[in-house]
Structure 1
Amino acid sequence: MGQIREIKDRISSIDNTMKITNAMYMISSTKMNNARRSLAATEPYFYALQDMFARVMRHLPEGFHHPYLDNREKRQQEGGLRRAIICVTADKGLAGSYNHNIIKLTEELLADHPNGMLFTVGEVGRQYFLQHHIEVDGEFHYTAQKPTLARARSIAFEMLDLFEEKKIDEVFIVFTSMKNSMETQCNMTQLLPLIRLNAKPFNQEEAMTAMGIQEDFELEPNASELLYNIVPDYLNGYIYSALVEAFCSEHSARMQAMDSANKNGQELLQELNIRYNRERQAQITQEITEVAAGAKARAQQLAAAAGRKKLKKGVMPDANR
């Protein structure tokens, strides 16, 4: 009886857990669809901006120098290059390997540059690094679950200020993007200093083959002022796109994790139901066997009593004689 009660408790526990996983699957599905619509609504502008930025980078004058193009070669030779890493994770777990993969890639970057600065987007990454005694230099709260242009602009301006003040020499962003509805990949992109050869549209497999196209291109009022004006918008757009991509990837990973949990739960419920039915059947069989054995024993007792009674009646006259 105790084993049957234990199986029933496990079945009830799995049912309650599956209610939660089903709800989380539906919530993630809704949020991912909303994020995809947001990304689709902003992609045309940012693709055009990044394409134009790539054209500007290709047409900068030879020997042109600018603070945003400063590679800090002197510091690099001295081995003191300081890198800022923006790690984009989720605010919650239960998303498969989504958070683990990003944190692992970030740890590898920090190992290569131990004097780097770490900035976190998402509570999971922040808690992980604090628990492992890794210093977090900046935290962008309430951004992972609700990426907006205003929050992306705040991140971009903070990175630009640190770079211009030469407190950092490189800026990298580590985030997850969606290759398709079933597959995601971790990305590491250098935001600053700008690299001409790497200037290409965000999230496109092939950049335009405009490198070989000759075109007349004039920079007004001049290349330096132009970069000061468009680089903040370019970084803002790139970071916002990265945040939205990461948001979509998080909920895609969570949907897959919850779907897998539901399938495993169904299999486990099926096994437990079979075990429950077998145990219940064994109990019923045992009860029937006990009843039948009791009835048989009672019948034997009654038969023995009747035999003794008849024997007593048959012996009494002989005793009188």
Structure 2
Amino acid sequence: MANTKEIKDRMSSIQDTLKITNAMYMISSSKLKKARKSLEKTENYFYTLQSAMARILRHIPDMESIYFKSNEGKKREDVKVGYIVITADKGLAGAYNHNVLKLAEEHLKHCPNYELFVLGELGRHYFEHRNIDIDRQFQYTVQNPSLNRARNISETVLELYLKGELDEVHIVFTKMENAMQEEAVITQLLPLKKHEFNASDIPVDVQMEELKFDPSPEKVMEQIVPDYVVGFIYGALIESFSSEQNARMMAMEAATKSAKDMLHNLDILYNRARQAAITQEITEVIAGAKSQKKKKKKK
């Protein structure tokens, strides 16, 4: 059994760790609330864009656009796919980074022709360690998602897509399902799929609103789609950041509980060691007293 000093030192170390895990929990909680508020301020605008695209497609379901092109006629090995992978800058967030990186790596294995775009230090280290080429690194931190950063990412991939250097663009991120669960998902960002805008849910012969396009429906769509892509990327950045903070909160909560359990067990062990030490001292005093009595009797 360890002595009381060793147990005390260990308890002191765990108490210091407990303070850190509590502080990290509170920080992540604050960041999570801030991120969700930022998303709420802008999501109405992007929902309106999506609604406008659905209305246009309802009136003109056969509209031709580079943003809605199909790659069905191409062989899979001839399709150049861009993957945007969103990870964190640091760990201590449970399985958050592991899940999104494993999902991305699994898709890369089955895609012979791809370009990789990575956000987050852990993602960069992960792919570099495995000698997986990264075509573009967005060096800014993912700890502060903003519309400006989403726009920069959007402009990069849209330029490659419009030049024909990319046939598809997929984004791999973590979606926050609820307060207790998040899931790594992969979504096709480009080309867009008409059926996903629910344009066919309403029969064409049903009279609704009349739309006037100036100068043309195609031109209007070309103006709307880039903003829609920006909004989707921004939402993915916020979702990933929120999921990271939520995962870190749960990890720190579990670590705090484990630290408290360890302190409880060490407290019991400390009391036992202290009691054993006191008992030992009493035994030694009694043994000494008996020895003195024996010496006196002999004299």
TM-score range for the pair, normalised by the shorter chain length: over 0.9
Relative to the length of structure 2, the TM-score reads 0.93
- The within-5 A match list for 1:104-183 is 104-183=102-181
Identify the residue that residue 254 of structure 1 maps to in structure 2. 248
Residue 7 of structure 1: how far off its partner (Å): 2.0
- The within-5 A match list for 1:182-193 is 182-193=180-191
State the number of aligned residues: 296
Identify the residue that residue 69 of structure 1 maps to in structure 2. 68
Identify the residue that residue 285 of structure 1 maps to in structure 2. 279
Partners of 2:217 and 2:247 in 1: CA distance: 43
Partners of 2:58 and 2:265 in 1: CA distance: 64
| SS of residue in 1 equivalent to 2:202 | helix
Relative to the length of structure 1, the TM-score reads 0.87
Identify the residue that residue 19 of structure 2 maps to in structure 1. 19
Contact 1:53 1:234 (8 Å CA) reproduced: no
What letter is aligned with 1:135? D
Partners of 1:209 and 1:164 in 2: CA distance: 27
Partners of 2:212 and 2:141 in 1: CA distance: 38
Identify the residue that residue 266 of structure 1 maps to in structure 2. 260
Residue 2 of structure 1: how far off its partner (Å): 5.5
What letter is aligned with 2:279? T
| SS of residue in 1 equivalent to 2:116 | strand
Partners of 1:106 and 1:293 in 2: CA distance: 72
| SS of residue in 2 equivalent to 1:221 | coil
What letter is aligned with 2:125? Q
Residue 60 of structure 1: how far off its partner (Å): 3.0
In the alignment, does 2:223 pair up with 1:224? Answer: no
- The within-5 A match list for 1:38-53 is 38-53=38-53
Cα 1:99/1:197, change in 2 over 3 Å: same
What letter is aligned with 1:180? N
Mean Cα displacement is larger for which, 23-32 or 178-187? 178-187
Contact 2:92 2:251 (8 Å CA) reproduced: yes
Partners of 1:53 and 1:245 in 2: CA distance: 23
Identify the residue that residue 101 of structure 1 maps to in structure 2. 99
Contact 1:89 1:122 (8 Å CA) reproduced: yes
What letter is aligned with 2:271? N
Cα 1:67/1:183, change in 2 over 3 Å: same
Contact 2:127 2:133 (8 Å CA) reproduced: yes
Contact 2:89 2:120 (8 Å CA) reproduced: yes
Residue 287 of structure 1: how far off its partner (Å): 1.3
Identify the residue that residue 244 of structure 1 maps to in structure 2. 238
Residue 114 of structure 1: how far off its partner (Å): 3.3
In the alignment, does 2:31 pair up with 1:5? Answer: no
Partners of 2:135 and 2:76 in 1: CA distance: 23
What does the per-residue CA deviation read over 1:120-159, in whole Å, with 9 as the maximum and x for residues that have no partner? Answer: 1111111111111111111123341111111000011101
Contact 1:72 1:169 (8 Å CA) reproduced: yes
Cα 1:291/1:242, change in 2 over 3 Å: same
Partners of 2:97 and 2:57 in 1: CA distance: 34
Cα 1:189/1:78, change in 2 over 3 Å: closer
Cα 1:212/1:18, change in 2 over 3 Å: farther
- Which of 205, 227, 233 aligns to 1:233? It is 227
Identify the residue that residue 294 of structure 2 maps to in structure 1. 300
What letter is aligned with 1:249? S
Residue 73 of structure 1: how far off its partner (Å): 4.1
What letter is aligned with 2:285? V
RMSD: 1.9
Cα 1:139/1:15, change in 2 over 3 Å: same
Contact 1:85 1:118 (8 Å CA) reproduced: yes
Partners of 1:197 and 1:58 in 2: CA distance: 10
Mean Cα displacement is larger for which, 163-172 or 135-144? 135-144
Contact 1:143 1:151 (8 Å CA) reproduced: no
Contact 1:58 1:196 (8 Å CA) reproduced: no
In the alignment, does 2:29 pair up with 1:29? Answer: yes
Partners of 1:212 and 1:99 in 2: CA distance: 44
Partners of 1:106 and 1:78 in 2: CA distance: 18
| SS of residue in 2 equivalent to 1:39 | helix
In the alignment, does 2:276 pair up with 1:276? Answer: no
What letter is aligned with 1:187? V
What letter is aligned with 1:157? E
Contact 2:77 2:113 (8 Å CA) reproduced: no
| Percent of matched pairs sharing the same residue | 48
